[in-house]
Amino acid sequence: MDQKKILLIAGSQYGYNTSSYNYTKYLKEFYEVTYLGYDLAQPKIDTPGVNVIYISSGGSLFVRTFRFLRAILREINQNYDLIIFKYFKWNFIMRFMCRHTHAILDIRTGSVSSDRFRRNRDNALIRFNAFFFKNVSVISVALAELLRIPLTKRIIIPVGADVISDTDKSFEKLNLVYVGTLANRRIEDTITGFEKFYHEFAGKIEMHYTIVGDGPGGEKEMLKKMVTEKGLTHVINICGFIHHTKLHDLFDKSNAGVVYVPCTTYFDCQPSTKLFEYLLSGIPVIATQTTENKNVINDLNGVLIQDTPVAFYNGLKQLWRQKSQFHSPALRESVKSYTWENIIVNHLKPNLENVMNQ
């Protein structure tokens, strides 16, 4: 029996969006999978069994968009059983182009802009695009309700994560790590809180803080300047972007993970992939008190804090006091249902089959 064919269309380059990468990585075991996305001049990621179609990102917005839509028109003639559209602004046009093919609009986030007007506008645009799809997948019930996705369309595909490190962590020293975007996250709060903790305990605790990530507004350079001015370059390292497939060594030596997102209504419904990556790697966390974080964090796997520098400092003290309660095997066991393989096989695949059988 021939395998069913699935096309995943995204605006990112293959391998640089975590959910898209894992969708294809695990779905290829069951379907013939093709990925269509932009070539953004980043190093190519190869996954045997996944056919990747790269579209040039050169030229003006109009030229890029026209080229992308033309590529979709060309590709949909290959008789796919299902098309998964990762959300971006022109999805409604693409849906008209493939209106006779089963399709899902996959939304992994609402707007997290700090500007209320922009946030409302962007969420309205998401709702507008979702209107043209019979099936819409979202990351959480809370996000679906924020975006007002009707129950009749709604498919919940939870956040997933990989086991990056399988070493059991010890606490002779504190090796703190943050991995994620630096945009609109106020990571400078954690540096200020860490500075206070360092000056108080430097003679008693050997410590280091590694920050991995970048942002479009010069955030990495701003944080580097901040660390230099505070004289903390020997204990805080701002790394820039590291692809998640190359985080193994860092996660092996880290024993505390930072999940720092502002406690706002627009972040409150956003589960964090890195939260689950830390825990699945046996790393306890210090996390801000969003509703989604509170659903996961307890005294046996981490510490919940407010989103201020002082709260981060106090959270580090609490984390260190509780270190004897953290055991890597138990941390992994507590979130084992959130592995990408489990999410894809037990959540995404059954829903894809339902859509294809409609």
The position carrying tokens 């999978």 is: 33
What structural domains does the chain harbor? 5-160+340-356 (3.40.50.2000), 174-337 (3.40.50.2000)
Q: Could you read off the pLDDT tens digit of each residue along the chain, which spans 358 residues? A: 578 999 999 999 999 888 999 999 999 999 999 999 999 999 899 999 999 999 999 999 899 999 999 999 888 878 899 999 999 888 888 888 888 889 999 999 998 888 899 999 999 999 999 999 999 999 999 999 999 999 999 999 999 998 999 999 999 999 999 999 999 899 999 999 999 999 999 989 999 999 999 988 899 999 999 999 999 999 999 998 887 778 999 999 999 999 999 999 888 888 888 999 999 999 999 999 999 999 999 989 999 999 999 999 999 999 999 999 999 999 999 899 999 999 999 999 999 999 999 8
For residue 267, what are the β-bridge partners? none
Phi, psi of 146 (to 5 degrees): -60, -40
Query: pTM here?
Result: 0.87
Q: Report how far residue 119's alpha carbon sits from residue 352's, in angstroms, rounded to the nearest whole number.
A: 30
What pLDDT, on the 0 to 100 scale, is given for residue 1?
58
Output the six-digit token pair for 181.
Answer: 């975007």
Q: Report how far residue 76's alpha carbon sits from residue 71's, in angstroms, rounded to the nearest whole number.
A: 9
| Alpha-carbon separation of residue 29 from 3, 344, 355 (angstroms) | 10, 11, 19
User: Cβ distance 328 to 169 under 8 Å?
Assistant: yes
Q: Report how far residue 312's alpha carbon sits from residue 263's, in angstroms, rounded to the nearest whole number.
A: 13
Output the six-digit token pair for 327.
Answer: 């055991």
What pLDDT, on the 0 to 100 scale, is given for residue 270?
86
Phi, psi of 74 (to 5 degrees): -65, -40
User: Cβ distance 279 to 334 under 8 Å?
Assistant: yes
DSSP secondary structure string for all residues of 116-181: HHHHHHHHHHHHHHHTT-S-EEES-HHHHHHTT--TTTEEE----B-----SPP--SSEEEEEES-
